[in-house]
Amino acid sequence: MPLAHVLHELPALAAAGPVRALDIARAAAELAFARVLLARKTVRQLGIPDLTPAPSPSFQPDQQQQAQLDRIAKAIAIAVPRVPWRSDCLVQCLAARRWLATFGIPARIQIGMKREPRDGCKDALLAHAWLAVGDIVVTGGDVSDFAAFGDRAQT
């Protein structure tokens, strides 16, 4: 991202208020750390896919945890297009999972796939990662069309 663009964003960041600005700065730092981790370690070393038993999908965050989830999800979403490196879905998952861990909130990175026509290919296979807390998707957007690895096929 060019310096001029960063300078252009500063007034909007200041207008967001000190708490939101700190959240966005923390999100950028977590994204940078996740990007470095992903470059230096294998996904297996990072615990992806997570082969431990999944936390109960019925886990429901309390009101304070839900507020943390919302803050972190929003800060990551705001920071991603503003950092000067690619922060694809897996980087976002790693960043948010690490941040949530500081609040003791259990999160699980899910990897999934779907088939979709793309770039002239009638049946392209797309992969995606998202972070889930119980049945709440924190990063990754709408994942309803993706089949998560480890899910049993319905027949």
Looking at residue 116, what is its pLDDT?
A: 81
Number of Cβ within a 10 Å radius of residue 150: 12
More confident residue, 27 or 6: 27
d(CA 59, CA 149) in angstroms, rounded, equals 20
Reported confidence tier of residue 57, pLDDT bands at 50, 70, 90: low
Given a cut of 70, whether residue 49 has pLDDT beyond it is no
Q: What is the pLDDT of residues 9-20, one digit of tens each?
A: 666 666 667 778
Q: Output Rg (C-alpha) for the chain, integer angstroms.
A: 17
Number of Cβ within a 10 Å radius of residue 89: 19
Looking at residue 58, what is its pLDDT?
A: 62
Phi, psi (degrees; rounded to nearest 5) at 133: -120, 105
Stretch (H or E) spanning 117: strand 108-118
Q: What is the pLDDT of residues 18-34, one digit of tens each?
A: 778 889 999 999 999 99
Looking at residue 45, what is its pLDDT?
A: 86
User: Average pLDDT of 103-119?
Assistant: 87
Q: Which residues pair with 90 in a beta bridge?
A: none
Mean per-residue pLDDT of the chain: 83
